[in-house]
Amino acid sequence: MSSSISNLAAVTSIAYTPSKITNERNSEDRPKITKYELLEKLGQGSYGEVFKARNKESNDLVALKRMPIGDEGEGIHLSTIREINILKQLNHKNIIPLRDVVVDSGLLHNPNVQLTAQDIKTYLKQLLEATAHMHQSRILHRDIKASNILINNDGILQIADFGLARDMDNGDEEYTKSVVTRWYRPPELILGEGRYTSAIDMWGVGCVFGELIKSRAILQGQDDLDQLKKIFNLCGSPNQKNMPNWHKLPDARKTRFKKTVRRVRREYSSFDPLAADLLDKLLVLDPKKRSTALEALDHNYFSSSPLPTNPANLPKYESSHNYDRHRNKKPRHD
């Protein structure tokens, strides 16, 4: 679950240290894409491609996200501007830093990765610390998932890809529902909730935690209705007690399901009862009762034996841009 990309930083191709980039820079001073050597393609999303690259001047390895500029007159896509602005607001060791904005003219499932209970505890703690920082900074990520988590060979986990992120409002605005990758999408979003909160990110954190334990995505729905079925099979079917007013959500009438009982604790207790308890507090149907990042960090799971591994002592592996890449590995804790 480790990446060989050390001192990982985001580079957008339309990676800059915010303090070094100002609006006063003239065209001759702006960094060019030619200062980076592309080493390998790591992934592709709706708004760009991600490469492992090397800065030719400093020899630093970076994650370079190449985002296209629109046709003449269209300019840069709004999501690109939003991602850059959000990354400039955030400064935390567990969130990928933005190093350069350059103009282009013209682990989890790795067979070699064996995570211990202590390692899993360390990675989850860093993920929660990063998420807490985002939410305290009034930022919603809106796409927490395995493939948006990078880990370097110093043992530092970093949340990446802020293409769907946005500032939180005061609770009156209705957001777009076209966010969060399906396997990590919370039930309220699938049911059509538009006035969602930071709880949608916490559902994603819970899914990633379960994935760390199981070595595979834990809720693999084929479509939205199948995703709800998978969620209810694990978390119990919704009712007025565990998800008040769920039936009033816009898409609730489209849903048909059998009554099921909650079995999160039972499913994960064999790995660690305290881990199962924490996961049970993250994968909660009612977003108002879902643990926040700060609440999760205060859970006894992190202070119990075995204690989290020191990040410097985490194992090092061959290059892997995110732990989601290791999907050919058999589950560890079924």
The residues annotated as belonging to the active site are 143
Amino acid at 217: A
- 297 phi, psi to nearest 5 deg: -65, -25
The helix (H) or strand (E) run that includes residue 45 is strand 36-45
d(CA 36, CA 4): 17
d(CA 243, CA 46): 32
* SS3 of residue 184 by DSSP: helix
d(CA 12, CA 67): 7
- Strand order in 98-101's β-sheet? 36-45, 48-55, 61-66, 10-12, 98-101
Is the Cβ–Cβ distance between 9 and 64 less than 8 Å?
A: no
Is the Cβ–Cβ distance between 287 and 186 less than 8 Å?
A: yes
Q: Where are the alpha helices (DSSP H) in the chain?
A: 78-89, 117-136, 187-190, 199-214, 224-235, 264-268, 273-282, 293-297
